[in-house]
Amino acid sequence: MSKNDLTRPSNFIKEIISEDLKTNRYDGKVHTRFPPEPNGYLHIGHAKAICINFVIAEEYNGPCNLRFDDTNPMKEEQEYIDSIKEDIRWLGFDWEDREYYASDYFEKLYEYAIKLIKKGKAYVCDLSADEIRETRGTLTKPGRNSPYRNRSVEENLDLFERMRAGEFPDGSRTLRAKIDMSSGNINMRDPVMYRILRATHPRTGDKWCIYPTYDFTHGQSDSIEGITHSLCSIEFEDHRPLYDWFLDELEIHHPRQIEFARLYLNYTILRKRKLIKLVEGGSVNGWDDPRMLTLSGLRRRGYTPESIRDFCERIGVAKSESVVDIAFLEHCLRDDLNKRAQRYLAVLHPLRVVIENYPEDKVEELDAINNPEDLSMGTRKIPFSRVIYIEQDDFREEPPKKFYRLAPGREVRLRYAYFIKCVDVIKDEKGNVVELRCTYDPKTRGGDAPDGRKPKTTLHWVTIDHSIRAEVRLYDRLFTKVNPDDVEEGKDFTSNINPNSLEIITPCYVEPTLKDAEPGDRFQFERLGYFCVDPDSTNLKLVFNRTVPLKDTWAKIEKAQRKELE
């Protein structure tokens, strides 16, 4: 059986599968698939479904297919297919040669439709889309039979073939399943199986002018591929009776469908059609905007695939819906980056400091630790000289209580360097502090004083002569409300967009060791957060995205929760 069964936590899906293996349903095989519709880029919700399908297959030593459910040529594009493949590979999953398309089954699905017509289980209907909607009834009211419901098998076969041959205009006829217009489940009220639509399909071109609906395609595609367990999100629960009906009437291989809760995150929108609106409306700079919770956006922001997989594993798999705190996603990311990200010094809001008793032309090389969490990552040399930048925030002329950083007359430690003491403050005509004059204690090289005195704070810094100018982009939540769909009447989620979600700071200064950094490289800037190099970087200018600040709000939430329990 499974390789990792003992080490990974169980969940209700695995319990069902294990049970099926015991009873030898599906000859002891497990075969799953991830079935995206190529009508947008993948988001973090899809990552959950991808992890469930690929990880479960792996644990039971079975394959997982990638299948594009490409039944809607109006909204689907090759760009989306390419991005979906890139994102799944980036997450670390491999579908090998099992890349399938529902459109490859169009001929087979057509045969299935003929089979149902011949069994008297499907009919051609001349009602318009509006009329079908009107006669479908409601949750409390049964639907009404279509006047075309009792067409003969011969007439249906003839009309359906002519639909395919292009004899009728778009939308003029449909093929419908003949089930039950008074069923308590609206999906069973003679659902549409085929519609007439003259649209060029990204893969089948103009070969077809009738297209199967998603509902008539999805279950049969799983069946054709020999899928044993169709794992899908909860909104398909109400469709399951219909999928069962099709498979039973067609008398073909019948996968077991199991539904799990969709992922929701606070302050976040996870629906492709809404994400498209953000992209097309220009609220963000494309699908991979680092503020988007698309996989390409998270990647550009600096998320690691490992942290996303870890997140998906730790939120678990359940049937009941809940909203996950975005702080938990960030917590998983910090866990990963803390172990792996090399530390560097960078100053975002520079304040010039002249160390008066340090020789004018001297440059020293100081040893800096690359990652205190992992000493095997070694050390590096960083230059130190007379004029440096520190962070504006790290100085106050009149320090309030509990402000332990630099102030007139006060001594602080410079990371990996010396203790400095502020002896004078230089201001411009408007009274803004533009420079500090300090002295250093040569005996404190490396950060310790022989007399044992210990400054309360250690500041990060870079030298003015050696540092590299850079642009830094800071991101905040894209939406101001916990639930972005919470809007006044007549408005939509875009009215909750945070106008301050992007802050560009330039120039910033980073230590010279970063000069060869490449787009995608990730590191920690000490005391500031985790950053990565944005692809907008050029030879002339490095651009950094702040992936996430250091402060871990999730750890705080957990601590508070623990306190409450005590």
Q: What does the alpha-carbon distance between residue 193 and residue 218 come to, in Å, rounded to a whole number?
A: 11
Q: How far is the CB of 38 from ligand ATP (least distance, A)?
A: 8
Closest CA to 370 of 400, 330, 340, 408: 340
Q: What are phi and psi of 84, to 5 degrees?
A: -65, -45
Q: In the stretch 19-58, what mask flags binding to Mg ion with x, by CB under 5 A?
A: ------------------x---------------------
- Under DSSP, is residue 382 helix (H, G, I), strand (E, B) or coil? strand
Q: Is 272 a catalytic site residue?
A: yes
Binding residues (CB under 6 A) for ligand ATP: these are 35-37, 45-46, 48-49, 232-233, 262-263, 270-272
Which CB sits closer to ligand ATP, 209 or 265? 265
Q: How far is the CB of 417 from ligand ATP (least distance, A)?
A: 48
Q: What does the alpha-carbon distance between residue 534 and residue 541 come to, in Å, rounded to a whole number?
A: 11
Q: How far is the CB of 36 from Mg ion (least distance, A)?
A: 8
Options 108, 115, 121, 262, the catalytic residue? 262
Q: Is 37 a catalytic site residue?
A: yes
Which CB sits closer to ligand ATP, 37 or 391? 37
Planar angle of CA 347, 349, 350, nearest 5 degrees: 70
Residue least distant from ligand ATP (Cβ): 45
Measure CA 147 to chain center.
47
Strand ranges in 325-405 using DSSP code E only, listed in sequence order: 342-344, 346-347, 350-355, 364-369, 379-384, 387-391
Q: How far is the CB of 56 from ligand ATP (least distance, A)?
A: 13
Q: What does the alpha-carbon distance between residue 362 and residue 338 come to, in Å, rounded to a whole number?
A: 34
Q: Which of the choices ligand ATP, Mg ion, none does residue 262 contact, using the CB cut-off of 5 to 8 A by kind? A: ligand ATP
Instruction: Give how many residues touch Mg ion by CB under 5 A.
Output: 1
Q: Which of the choices ligand ATP, Mg ion, none does residue 455 contact, using the CB cut-off of 5 to 8 A by kind? A: none
Q: In this structure, are strands 529-533 and 522-525 parallel, antiparallel, or unpaired?
A: antiparallel
Which CB sits closer to ligand ATP, 85 or 271? 271
Q: What does the alpha-carbon distance between residue 254 and residue 242 come to, in Å, rounded to a whole number?
A: 13
Q: In the stretch 255-284, what mask flags binding to Mg ion with x, by CB under 5 A?
A: ------------------------------
Options 14, 176, 240, 272, the catalytic residue? 272
Options 33, 37, 259, 301, the catalytic residue? 37
Q: How far is the CB of 338 from Mg ion (least distance, A)?
A: 36
Please list, in sequence order, all residues whose beta carbon lies within 8 angstroms of the beta carbon of residue 326, skipping any fewer than 6 positions away: 265, 266, 267, 268, 477
Identify whether the C-beta of residue 203 lies closer than 8 Å to the C-beta of residue 70: yes
Q: Which residues bind Mg ion (CB under 5 A)?
A: 37
Could you give the residue numbers annotated as active site?
37, 262, 272
